[in-house]
Homo-oligomer: A and B are copies of this chain.
């Protein structure tokens, strides 16, 4: 059980939650992935307050998940558009895991509200746990957790200097 004594404050899960666990962030990323890219369209679809939306979009740009592009169609005013960076696109597996879990446990009886299918073959898309040898992982019990290079021992109150 010694890994329980590792500090989790620099665990990647914790850091990632700090970014994408803020309210509305995952929903913003879902909608941007769906092709909704403008401030007012996002506000319209999400129903979030403008102040929070502006704050979250700013944070996502600052952290490099989105880029703000301005473009101008002829005869129209300049408009802003938020597009995913690679860092943002790399969260798509996370969104898929979330959708998949929600479809299984929280969907309406008649089925999910959105189907994701492979563009090439039309088959449903899902997230799957695998190891680098190609084995499929079915349960958390099949996974060993060991401290990595940046693991720190947990600070204990009973060890004086």
Contacts and interface: CB of A to CB of B under 8 A. Distances in A.
Contacts of A7: 113
A48 to B, nearest CB: 12
- Oligomer copy total: 2
Interface stretch (A14-22, A52-60, A74-82): A14-22
A43 to B, nearest CB: 13
Contacts of A31: 8
A111 B109 CA distance: 44
A87 to B, nearest CB: 6
Contacts of A71: none
Interface in A1-37: 1, 3-4, 6-8, 10-17, 19-21, 23, 26-27, 30-31, 33-36
5 contacts: A90-B101, A90-B104, A110-B150, A111-B148, A116-B145
Q: Give me the 6 closest cross-chain CB pairs, A-B, nearest first.
A: A12-B102, A111-B149, A16-B102, A118-B131, A108-B150, A123-B132
